[in-house]
Structure 1
Amino acid sequence: MDDDSHGDEHTPAQHDRTHDRALNARHDIEEQLRTQRARLEAGNEKLKARTGRNLPAAIGIGIGLGGAVLVSLILIKALFMIVAVVLIFFIVFELTTAIRTAGRDVPRLPSVLVGIAIVPASFYFKAEGQWLTLIGGIVFVSLWRLALQLGSARRTGAVDLWRDLGSGAFVQIYTTFLGSFLVLLTAQNGGQWWALGTLIVVISVDTGAYATGLSFGKHPMAPRISPKKTWEGFAGSVAAAMIAGVIISIFMIHQPWWLGLVLGAVLTLTATMGDLTESLIKRDLGIKDISTWLPGHGGFLDRLDSTLPSAVVAYALYLIFATR
């Protein structure tokens, strides 16, 4: 009777074997996870070595920024001012910091304040507000720098002072002024769709150049400025931009299909020029990225360099074709 009543209980040896099997299974799972993680990291490193960036992080950051812009332009375009203020704040701060690191004394606080001020000025007072804020902003930054010159600890020679003043004006023209054209475009009647379309075409330029150059790129386009840019990538950017331009022209801004070809071709040139311009600036400053705030992209200016000159041309095209 006693043997039958305890026949279904495990002996200590059985408990030990069950425990060992559980431990072995756990170790096998952990080993498989470590192996998969190692493979994933190795794959990411190979991809990073080939592309020059952390691609998963770059995609994530791109989706986040694109989502913020998309929501603001589609829902209430006045919300785009918030996005624009954040973006212009960062690109002005990044560029002034990089220039200061290179030895030029460009005041960051007044530079950033001017960048913030031009957004509502452009949105509510259009071109007049944009130009007045730009001119007043350059004067403001210059006077700030001259005031610092009066302090004995910040005095420099006349040549260096002029270079500092010129660098401060350059920051405002290159980042604040060019960036504000997208705000100016958004403020127009139906301009938010032109602004969104411009961004989509510019993204198409970058994506087309990246994908085509990565797959087929053999002939460098500007090896001394941007070694990874190729003519094959440029051809891919033209094709992608024109396809995107035609779709946007017909379905988003309600213009003739051929305007999409014009939009794609022109924005390909301006986006490429913007990318090469920033590469030239970084080369002159002796840095790889303007900042490291955006994993996979570098800095905000590294992400928006193609957009800055493209916004100017898009605004001009809007005035020519949408206001007739």
Structure 2
Amino acid sequence: MTEPAEKPGRNSQRSKRMSRDELQAQLKSRRAEIERQVRTTRAQIDQVNERIEARAGRNLLMATVFGLGLGLILVASLIFIKGIFVAFCAAIVAFATFELARALRESGRRVDVIPAVVAGVAIVGGSYLFSPSSRWIVLAAAVVFVVLWRLVAQLFESRSGGRHRLGRDLVAAVLVQLYVPFLASFAVTLVLQPEGQWWALAFLILVVAVDIGAYASGLSFGKHPMAPKISPKKTWEGFAGAGVAAVVTGVVLALLMLDTPWWVGVIFGLALLGTATLGDLTESLIKRDIGIKDISSWLPGHGGFLDRIDSMLPSAPVALAIFTVFSATGMTA
């Protein structure tokens, strides 16, 4: 007996089922291949980021994102409404002062955190409300305030380390005020001058250019440590790259933003190359003395607020001095 021939309709249905199965198999295979490629690419990117972070000491992607965000807020407040910039500056100073005071306290130095923050904000606010010459009076008042607070607090504390320890604590309290809010107050004074906002913006751009130049050059060519006992990742090759970036950026800013001769940009760039590098090394020295890597971890990829403004702090008074000498308007009393 012969088997009955299959009907044409069944053949068509079987062909359709085979076509669907083949298509699904191809889609699954393609999806698996794409997933493998994505995992491979992601692993390669992670490896690159790990190598960069191991060499540079920070997460490049997170640092870039947060840096751009903070930079846009800062530039917008600086150009459009100076009062907002002052408030923004006071907020950053408050956070940075809090970070430094807390880090010192955790290292064994009895620094009063809240009084330090209050005094720091007062110094920045005084630079905005009073004349530049009053800065020294506000600073003296802030220093007296934190010193008296520590002396009174010492009377109510059960443990005492003697005069040596008290003297060390007082020095630490004064250092916090001099290092963060006092240096930052020069930036506020600069912004309040006629056309001073452009010079403040230029000095911030220059500091960022120095940081980027040192980072890129050091990452690519760095072999010879600059200060291995203070900052092992800082190299002379990075310093040279920062110098090139500072001079080029300074000349461009002098011609296009500050309306000054090109050689003023060279002076501006080289001056801030020195101060920005000094500021970075100073904070590294403080962190090494305390025994920490970052002042805090509030800013992903950056560490803390002080880690971001360490190069700007000593650059602010130098920028104000260069503005006074070379600007068309000069400094008002």
TM over 0.5: yes
Q: 1:229 is paired with a residue of what secondary structure?
A: strand
Deviation by residue 1:95-127 (Cα, 9 ceiling, x = unmatched): 111111110010110111112222221122132
* Partner-residue secondary structure (3-state), 1:290: coil
Could you say which residue in structure 2 is the equivalent of 1:202? 207
1:263-302 to structure 2, matched below 5 A, reads: 263-302=268-307
What residue number does 2:154 align with? Answer: 149
Instruction: Map 1:91-110 to 2 at 5 A.
Output: 91-110=96-115
Native 8 Å contact 2:272 2:315 kept in 1: yes
Cα pair distance change 1:42/1:136, threshold 3 Å? same
Q: CA deviation at 1:150?
A: 1.9
CA distance 1:213–1:37, change in 2 (3 Å): closer
Aligned pair in 2 of structure 1 residues 12, 229: CA closer, same or farther (>3 Å)? Answer: closer
Q: SS of 1:292's equivalent? A: coil
CA distance in 2 between partners of 1:286 and 1:53 (Å): 18
For this pair of structures, how many residues does the alignment match?
A: 323
C-alpha distance in 1, partners of 2:216/2:49?
17
CA contact (8 A) 2:55 2:233 kept: no
2:99 is the alignment partner of 1:90: no
Structure 2: which 5+ residue stretches go unaligned?
1-6
CA–CA separation in structure 2 for the residues paired with 1:15 and 1:204: 59
Q: Which has the larger radius of gyration?
A: 2
Partner of 2:172: 167
Cα displacement string for residues 111-151 of structure 1 (whole angstroms, at most 9, x for unaligned residues):
11112222221122132443222111111111211221121
Counterpart position of 2:145: 140
Kindly provide the CA deviation profile for residues 218-238 of structure 1, in whole angstroms up to 9, marking residues without a partner as x.
222222212222222222211
Distance 1:7 1:130 in 2: 94
1:138-167 CA distance string (max 9 Å, x none): 111112112211214354422211111110
**How big is the shift at 1:43?**
2.1
Q: Match of 2:222?
A: 217
Report the equivalent of 1:316.
321
Question: Cα–Cα, structure 1 residues 21 and 195, in superposed 2: closer, same or farther, change >3 Å?
Answer: same
For residues 215-268 of structure 1, the C-alpha deviation after alignment (integer angstroms, 9 at most, x for no partner) is 222222222212222222222211211111111112212122211111111111
Residues 4-44 of structure 1: per-residue CA shift (max 9 Å, x gap): 77876567777666555544444333333322222221222
Is the Cα–Cα contact under 8 Å of residues 148 and 155 in structure 1 kept in the other structure? Answer: no
Q: Is the 8 A contact 1:249 1:260 kept in 2?
A: yes
| Percent pairwise identity | 51
Contact 1:149 1:156 in 2 (8 A): no
Calculate the aligned-residue CA RMSD, in Å. Answer: 2.2
Q: State the match for 1:31 in structure 2.
A: 36
- The 3-state SS of whatever aligns with 1:227 is strand
Structure 1: runs of 5+ lacking an equivalent: none
- Give me the whole-angstrom Cα distance separating, in 1, the residues matched to 2:306 and 2:289: 16
Query: 1: distance between equivalents of 2:256 and 2:294?
Result: 37
Distance in 2 (alpha carbons) for counterparts of 1:4 and 1:80: 81
2:130 corresponds to 1:125: yes
TM-score w.r.t. length of structure 1: 0.91
| Residue of structure 1 aligned with 2:198, choices 185, 193, 197 | 193
Determine whether 1:252 maps to 2:241. no
Contact kept? 2:124, 2:182, Cα under 8 Å: no
Distance 1:111 1:260 in 2: 36
Structure 1 contact 92–115 (Cα < 8 Å) conserved: yes
1:234-253 mapped onto 2 (5 Å cutoff): 234-253=239-258
TM-score, reference length from structure 2: 0.89
